[in-house]
């Protein structure tokens, strides 16, 4: 059965439509620092509002412990959504209480309200199915139909993602449809050469995607904290750099498997080694096989790929027809260790083909480093969800919408 899309719901004029968005944006002192996910929700919301639907937006933000917590309120998000839509967005101060009931009751055709953070209610993330179902039933009472458009949570079995869609006529929104179209191209029919760039801190987070993509890609570029486990697997010392010693044997197996398949796994030849973790740390560029041969000795730690590696990676990326990137090349939040990530991001903008930024820290990095979303073929809104899709895992929030 194919994924049910908005068209399957027919006309929604005058109907109350509960929309599960992913508005989990970063906040600093109550101010949104990256509104990418809010912007990504606009196409579906505008489609529904233009139809004359009464739109009830639900989402989570952060990881509150099943109770109200002011620092995780969706109030700033509702305000930003109002600015982006150019119309009033009302806000309910609870999830299924009196405020939410009143906000939904007061909606007219073509109007929108945002309910407070779903995770303020323990039923949203409960491990007990009956508790999730009970919360989902209360949410379902607010709608005549349900639209799932929070791609960043479709890999979670949570009340608003998994139980709620079965209680109302339901379909995927435009964001989820767009995400799946791109991810399908990455797994089923990638134009070649096909390069995957993996970074981030832990190799254990990426083992599944490495294993699933190895038979499908031409080249795999490794950066970020995970590179040191690969270097250790080749017998190199890595000083105080991030290392998952328990994954060394697994990495060795992947290196052998790649050689057998004719897939190039390219590791850094140089690394930026620092005396400590901090923007003010002394640092030097060092060959990747001699990380401990500095004045810092065994206490030195690698915090970015080196310039030689960055240029090599950029050349491979820009000459590829399909590129998927997930995970920064270094500690991009600290200016001295951002160059590798910036060089890789720039190369993706110059690719004559499909360039996909795989959500999460990668999406945050490109925006923090001054790039515009339009410079890339696609920026995913779901880092974890996109990785699990590329691992070939079953995603409960999609299966409940008919996807197989």
Residues annotated in a binding site: 22-24, 37, 60-63, 119, 156, 206, 302, 333, 359-362
Of the candidates 39, 138, 202, 252, the residue annotated as catalytic is 202
Q: Rounded distance, CA 256 to CA 204, Å? A: 18
Cα-based torsion angle of the residue sequence 355, 359, 365, 371 in order, rounded to the nearest 10 degrees: 40
Residue 216: active-site member:
no
> Residues 380-393, buried b or exposed e (16+ Cβ, 10 A)?
bbbbbbbbbbbbee
Of the candidates 278, 377, 384, 402, the residue annotated as catalytic is 384
DSSP string, 52-73: T-EEEEE---S---SS--GGG-
Tokens (6 digits) for 187 = 């797994």
Q: Rounded distance, CA 66 to CA 117, Å? A: 10
The DSSP call for residue 5 is: B
Cα-based torsion angle of the residue sequence 359, 364, 366, 369 in order, rounded to the nearest 10 degrees: -170
Annotated binding-site positions for substrate: 22-24, 37, 60-63, 119, 156
Reduce the DSSP state of residue 169 to 3 states and report it.
coil
User: Which residues contact residue 133 at a Cβ distance below 8 angstroms, ignoring those fewer than 6 apart?
Assistant: 159, 163
Cα-based torsion angle of the residue sequence 230, 385, 184, 17 in order, rounded to the nearest 10 degrees: -170
Residue 123: active-site member:
no
Q: Rounded distance, CA 331 to CA 303, Å? A: 6
Of the candidates 360, 382, 383, 397, the residue annotated as catalytic is 360
Annotated binding-site positions for ATP: 206, 302, 333, 359-362
Tokens (6 digits) for 202 = 């832990």
Residues written for the chain: 404
The number of C-alpha atoms within 13 Å of 197 and in the hemisphere containing its C-beta is: 36
Annotated binding-site positions for (2R)-3-phosphoglycerate: 37, 119, 156
Of the candidates 15, 16, 20, 37, the residue annotated as catalytic is 37
Residue 202: active-site member:
yes
Catalytic residues: 37, 202, 360, 384
């Amino acid at each position: 059965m194919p994924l049910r899309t908005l068209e399957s719901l027919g006309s929604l004029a005058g109907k109350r439509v509960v929309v599960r968005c992913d508005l989990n944006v970063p906040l600093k002192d109550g101010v949104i620092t990256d509104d990418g996910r809010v912007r990504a929700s606009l196409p579906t919301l505008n489609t529904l509002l233009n139809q004359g639907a009464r739109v009830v937006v639900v989402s989570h933000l952060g990881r509150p412990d099943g109770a109200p917590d002011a620092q995780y309120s969706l109030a700033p998000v509702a305000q930003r959504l109002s600015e982006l839509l150019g119309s009033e967005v009302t806000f309910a101060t609870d999830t299924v209480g009196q405020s939410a009931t009143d906000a939904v009751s007061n909606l007219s055709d073509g109007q929108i309200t945002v309910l407070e953070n779903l995770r303020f209610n323990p039923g949203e993330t409960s491990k007990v199915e009956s508790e999730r179902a009970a919360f989902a039933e209360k949410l379902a009472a607010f709608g005549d139909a349900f639209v799932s458009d929070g791609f960043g949570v479709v890999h979670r079995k949570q009340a608003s993602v998994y139980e709620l869609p079965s209680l109302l006529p339901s379909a995927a929104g435009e964001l989820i449809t767009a995400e799946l179209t791109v991810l399908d191209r990455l797994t089923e029919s990638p134009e070649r050469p096909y390069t995957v760039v993996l970074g981030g801190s832990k190799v254990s987070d990426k083992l599944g995607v490495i294993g699933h993509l190895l038979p499908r890609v031409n080249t795999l570029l490794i950066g970020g904290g995970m590179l040191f486990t690969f270097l250790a697997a080749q017998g190199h010392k890595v000083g105080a750099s991030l290392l998952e010693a328990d994954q060394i044997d697994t990495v060795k197996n992947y290196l052998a498997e790649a050689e057998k398949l004719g897939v190039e796994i390219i590791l850094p030849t140089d690394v930026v080694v620092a005396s400590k973790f901090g923007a003010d740390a002394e640092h030097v560029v060092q060959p990747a096989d001699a990380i401990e041969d500095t004045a810092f000795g065994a206490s030195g730690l690698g915090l970015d790929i080196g310039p030689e590696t960055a240029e090599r990676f950029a050349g491979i990326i820009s000459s590829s027809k399909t590129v998927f990137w997930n995970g920064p090349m270094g500690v991009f939040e600290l200016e001295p260790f951002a160059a590798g990530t910036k060089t890789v991001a720039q190369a993706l903008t110059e690719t004559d083909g499909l360039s996909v930024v795989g959500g999460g820290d990668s999406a945050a990095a490109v925006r923090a480093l001054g790039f515009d979303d339009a410079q890339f073929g696609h920026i995913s809104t779901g880092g974890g969800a996109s990785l699990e899709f590329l691992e070939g895992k079953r995603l409960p929030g999609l299966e409940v919408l008919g996807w197989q």
